[in-house]
Copies of this chain bind each other. A is one copy, B any other.
Amino acid sequence: MEIDQLKKWRRELHSFPELGWTEFVTTSVLVRELKSMGYEPLLGESIINREFVRGRKIDLVQKAIKVAIDKGVDKELLNKMNELTGCVAIFDSGLPGPTVALRFDIDCVGVQETDNENHLPLINGFKSNTPNQMHACGHDGHMAIGLGIAKWLKQQPVNSLCGRVKLLFQPAEEGVRGAKPMEMSGIVDDCNYYLASHIGFIAKSGEIVVNPNSFLCTTKYDFRFKGLSSHPGKDPHVGINALAGCCNAATQLLAIPRHGKGMSRINVGVIRAGEARNVIPAYGELQVEVRGETEEINTFMCQQAERLVKGVALGFGLDLEIEVMGEAVDLTNDQEMVQLLSDVSKPYNLTIIESRPFGGSEDATILARRVQKINNGKAIYFVLGSDLKGTHHQSDFDFDESILPIGVNIYTNCLLKLISKK
């Protein structure tokens, strides 16, 4: 794959970063390119199950749609998206064979890109043109790799490939929000193989981690309590105190017991309750996350957390809203995929790192688990090393664009092994 095209894509996408669930311009760029290659990308509810959408604020969505219209995004396209971002391009060989899903995430993070004069995106004129939003995690690179693979697929000789490839451009990975509703659309339910990756992170240029481990299961919650305000001097007995509920819930959540079988975590990251000193607070909310080394442990944490807040709601007479804002599971790569990846990596002189702890959460795992469970499919998540400027999620983040063609090649060589006509 030619690096120039990959850089061009990456740089265009870098210049207009969008937060999770608002990637309307980003999606339109992907659709434009995919269409120019001959794909007819799937959009909206065919790839996103609205019922399972997590952590999406409708006012931000509508503002983003207006911005997209201002940017000249086609209204018909926006109609098809139906307020949901992301797209899926399907390559169908026309011949019987397995279905392979490849997944690329497309959202940015809420960081102000640096004005440091050594910052390559600034020098080369593709710095984010939106304040406080930046592709500071490398998802622009992921998308460029995805487009490169899409192009490569269309370039293969007729009848050289069999089966199908689904290129999933998934929204809202940050906050581990987008994979669940994509899973629940059923889009990977017919897939036999699944590959996803991240650039940088735990490996340098020239390295590839073929079997990262220690993916943390996690669930993100918002808990919202609604009570009744009253005057704390005159009517202290009338109020139904949402602040009291929030504070008791928070202290109880932080005391969820440890789990005997492994690592667990709980954080109450944000509490907001009450509006004025002299009013008994009628509303309060908690932003919470739990984690577990295994799905069993994470489920334990979720059950404890949900039961505790329900108890507080009952005890204080409050109405309670529980919203799951995001989730990711753990992942065990299938050994045959690890072997496959090691094999195809060798010709590229990459240092193959068998295993290294990922130590974070990634919602690519949710789609991987679906493929593994539903079809006894085989899944892998790997890390494509890249030298970095800054670190992920920081304003001076940048990765090494020279890895982009390597990424495309790794994927396409895997495809050659998986769906070459024999």
B274 touches A270 (CB 8 A): yes
Q: Measured between C-beta atoms, what is the minimum distance from A310 to chain B in Å? A: 6
Q: Which one of B175, B243, B267, B288 contacts A271 once the chains associate, using CB atoms below 8 Å?
A: B243
B237 touches A260 (CB 8 A): yes
B300 touches A237 (CB 8 A): yes
- Which residues of B are found within 8 Å of A232, using beta-carbon distances? 265-267, 269, 289
Given contacts A216-B233, A246-B247, A311-B314, contact A269 B259 (CB under 8 A): no
- Counting CB contacts under 8 A, is A277 at the interface? yes
Q: Which one of B255, B257, B314 contacts A314 once the chains associate, using CB atoms below 8 Å?
A: B314
Q: Measured between C-beta atoms, what is the minimum distance from A297 to chain B in Å? A: 8
A311 touches B316 (CB 8 A): yes
A271 touches B284 (CB 8 A): yes
Given contacts A232-B269, A272-B272, contact A252 B315 (CB under 8 A): yes
Q: Which one of B234, B257, B270, B275 contacts A270 once the chains associate, using CB atoms below 8 Å?
A: B275
A260 touches B234 (CB 8 A): yes
The 0/1 profile, CB within 8 Å of B marked 1, for residues 240-255 of chain A is: 0101101110111011
Q: CA–CA, A360 to B232, complex, Å?
A: 11
- Counting CB contacts under 8 A, is A63 at the interface? no
Q: Which one of B247, B268, B270 contacts A250 once the chains associate, using CB atoms below 8 Å?
A: B247
B315 touches A360 (CB 8 A): no
Binding site secondary structure of chain A: mixed
B270 touches A277 (CB 8 A): yes
- Which residues of B are found within 8 Å of A274, using beta-carbon distances? 268-271, 287
Given contacts A233-B265, A237-B261, contact A307 B300 (CB under 8 A): no
Q: CA–CA, A257 to B229, complex, Å?
A: 13
Q: CA–CA, A247 to B254, complex, Å?
A: 11
- Which residues of B are found within 8 Å of A281, using beta-carbon distances? 268-271
Give 22 A-B contacts (CB < 8 Å), ordered by A residue: A232-B269, A233-B291, A236-B265, A236-B267, A237-B258, A237-B300, A243-B250, A244-B254, A244-B255, A244-B268, A247-B247, A247-B248, A251-B251, A255-B255, A258-B265, A267-B277, A269-B277, A269-B278, A271-B274, A276-B287, A310-B314, A311-B316
7 closest cross-chain pairs (CB), A and B: A311-B315, A232-B267, A255-B255, A269-B277, A247-B247, A270-B274, A311-B314
List 8 additional contacts besides A237-B261, A268-B281, A270-B275; criterion CB under 8 Å.
Answer: A220-B277, A237-B258, A237-B259, A243-B268, A247-B247, A252-B315, A269-B281, A277-B287
